[in-house]
Amino acid sequence: MFAYIIRRLIGAVILLFVVSMVTFAIFFLVPRIAGATVEDMASRYVGKTADEAAIHSMAERLGFTDPLYEQYGRFVAGIFAGADYDTGAEVVHCPAPCFGYSFITRNPVWPDLVDRMGVTISLALGAAVIWLAFGVGTGVVSALRRGTFFDRASMGIALAGVSLPIFFTGLLSLTIFSYGLGWTAPGGSYTDFAEDPLQWAGALILPWITLAFLNAAGYARLTRATMLETMNEDFIRTARAKGLNERTVVVKHGLRSVLTPILTIFGLDLGILLGGAVLTESTYSLPGLGKYAVDAIVSNDLPKVLGVTLVGATFIIIANLVVDLLYAVVDPRVRYS
């Protein structure tokens, strides 16, 4: 077991390394392939009075003229040891972990990411609680009452749920509950939990429900399907034959087998969400990682895009890892080979 964990950890680190390399290459190569010169890339980082020579020296200071692997090496070194950036006016120290320095807003990327992470984590975890409860609950009940009105209705709603884009349901909910009825905060409001927990929840309740609705639908369908399959298995029949009451059968044996696929999906969904719930945050203008990424892309702020993509990838890889490890705990059939 221990060796397995170590092996998976090493694998995750290597994966992260490769992903960072590819991401770095793409963001720094594609603009070049598209025809931008290093001077073009540097020109957005210089002052209004800069002439050609100043732009060129900025390109050199930024290291755009160096080979790609050197730039990447510096970037990675910065994550562990911090880095110094020469803005022309002064040398700015970007302390470790330095995920780059934005020359457009003139600040290191990492503190921004930490700042935005709070919003995204609030959004993702809150929604996750709701969708797990509703999704799995509905799925189990549907499976047990297969063919009833409840089953059909909830599965119908679930199918509608997975077919609705969140930027449509989100807009609808804003129109009705926020703008029309005035029950919830307008889009774009966010208060830190530490500042005022009530306002925090008030601002997030609509995004939570909308995001949860979308995901709950999928979970309900998955839970129902797995549950149905499980309840036909031999071991359930055995359990029943033993004379266990139905409740015990369902909870101890049925639910347990549902846990594995739900866990897998849940970990990955959460991983993706934590890296930035791009659509939800854009629809509700929440200042999370996803919105940050979109804004950075819009203003062509490559260091920020790179930083947020890497953080997103890290979340996904960590989620993968955690799922795999939990898997081993939950399901003894998994062999650690």
Partner 1 sequence: MTAPLEVSSGSSEAQPEAALQGMGKKAIQGRSLGQIAWMRLKRDKVAMVSGILIVVMIIAAVVALLLDRVFGVIDPNAFNQDLIDPDLQIPRGAMGGISLEHPFGVEPINGRDILTRIFAGSWISLLIGFAATLLSVLIGTVMGVIAGYFRGWVDTFISRLMDVFLAFPLLLFAIALVGVVPDNAFGFGRDGSRIFMLIFIIGFFSWPYIGRIIRAQTLSLREREFIDASRSLGARAPHVLFKELLPNLVAPILVYSTLLIPTNILFEAALSFLGVGIQPPSATWGTMLSEASRWYQVDAWYMVFPGLAIFITVLAFNLFGDGLRDALDPRAR
Partner 2 sequence: MRKQRTVTMVAAGAAAVMALSACGGGGGSNNNSNGGTTATGPNAAIGKVFNPSDKKGGTLRMANAGDWDSLDPGDTYYAYSWNFIRLYGRSLMMFKPAPGQEGAKLTPDLAEAKGEPSADLKTWTYKIRKGVKFEDGTVVTSKDVKYAVSRSLDKDTFPNGPTYFNEFLDLQGYTSPYKDSDPNGLGLKAIETPDDNTIVFKLSKPFADFDYFAGMPSTIPVPKAKDTGTKYKEKVISTGPYRFETNELGKSFTLVRNEHWDPATDPNRKALPDKITMALNVNADDIDNRLISGDLDVDVVGSGVQPAAQAKILADQALKANSDNPLAARLWYTNINGDVAPLNNIECRKAIQYAADKTGYQRAYGGATGGEIATSLLPPVIPGSEKIDLYPSKDNAGDVEKAKQALAACGQPNGFETNIAYRAERTKEKAVAESLQQSLGRVGIKLNIKSYPTADYAKLYAGKPDFAKSNNLGLMVFGWAADWPNGFGFLKEITDSRTIKPAGNTNFSIKDPKVDAAIDKAMTEKDEAARQKAWSDVDRAAMETAYALPGVIAKGLYYRPKNLTNVFITDGFSEYDYTALGVQN
Residue indicated by tokens 């062509």: 300
Quick one: 212 exposed, middle or buried, by C-beta within 10 A (0-12, 13-18, 19+)?
buried
Q: Which is nearer to partner 1, 37 or 57 (CB)?
A: 37
Quick one: 62 exposed, middle or buried, by C-beta within 10 A (0-12, 13-18, 19+)?
buried
Which of 37, 264, 287, 327 contacts partner 1 by CB under 8 A? 264
What is the number of other CB atoms lying within 10 angstroms of the CB of residue 293? 25
Separation of CA 235 from chain center? 37
What residues between 210 and 229 interact with partner 2 by CB under 8 A?
Answer: none
Which of 1, 34, 194, 298 contacts partner 2 by CB under 8 A? 298
Q: How far apart are CA 42 and CA 63, in angstroms?
A: 10
What residues between 272 and 311 interact with partner 1 by CB under 8 A?
Answer: 272-273, 275-280, 282-283, 290, 293-294, 297-298, 300, 305, 308-309
Q: How far is the CB of 125 from partner 2 (least distance, A)?
A: 23
218 lines the binding site for partner 1 (CB under 8 A) = yes
Which of 91, 196, 300, 334 contacts partner 2 by CB under 8 A? 300
188 lines the binding site for partner 2 (CB under 8 A) = yes
3-class DSSP state of 268:
helix
188 lines the binding site for partner 1 (CB under 8 A) = no
What residues between 116 and 175 interact with partner 1 by CB under 8 A?
Answer: 131, 135, 158-160, 162-168, 171-172, 174-175
Q: How far apart are CA 128 and CA 132, in angstroms?
A: 6
Structure tokens, 239: 């359990």
Scanning 73-81, 194-202, 250-258, 267-275 for contacts with partner 1 by CB under 8 A, the matching segment is 267-275
Separation of CA 193 from chain center? 20
299's CB contacts (< 8 A; 6+ apart) are 104
Q: Which is nearer to partner 2, 48 or 333 (CB)?
A: 48
Residues 166-185, one symbol each (x = binds partner 2 by CB under 8 A, - = not), give -------------x-----x
252's CB contacts (< 8 A; 6+ apart) are 239, 244
Q: Which is nearer to partner 2, 46 or 109 (CB)?
A: 46
Q: How far apart are CA 211 and CA 166, in angstroms?
A: 7
Q: How far is the CB of 19 from partner 1 (least distance, A)?
A: 5
Q: Which is nearer to partner 1, 95 or 156 (CB)?
A: 156
CA geometry: angle 116, 194, 107, nearest 5 deg: 30
What residues between 75 and 114 interact with partner 2 by CB under 8 A?
Answer: 87-90, 104, 106
Quick one: 261 exposed, middle or buried, by C-beta within 10 A (0-12, 13-18, 19+)?
middle
Residues 5-34, one symbol each (x = binds partner 1 by CB under 8 A, - = not), give ----------xx-xx--xx--xx--xx--x
What residues between 262 and 291 interact with partner 2 by CB under 8 A?
Answer: 285, 287
Q: How far is the CB of 167 from partner 2 (least distance, A)?
A: 16
Q: How far apart are CA 172 and CA 160, in angstroms?
A: 15
Scanning 50-58, 77-85, 198-206, 216-224 for contacts with partner 1 by CB under 8 A, the matching segment is 216-224
3-class DSSP state of 307:
helix
Which of 73, 165, 186, 197 contacts partner 2 by CB under 8 A? 186
**HSE-up of residue 197 (Cα within 13 Å, Cβ side):** 1
Q: How far is the CB of 104 from partner 2 (least distance, A)?
A: 7
Q: How far apart are CA 148 and CA 275, in angstroms?
A: 39
Interacting residue ranges for partner 2, rule: CB under 8 A: 36, 40, 43-44, 46-52, 87-90, 104, 106, 179, 185-189, 285, 287, 298-301
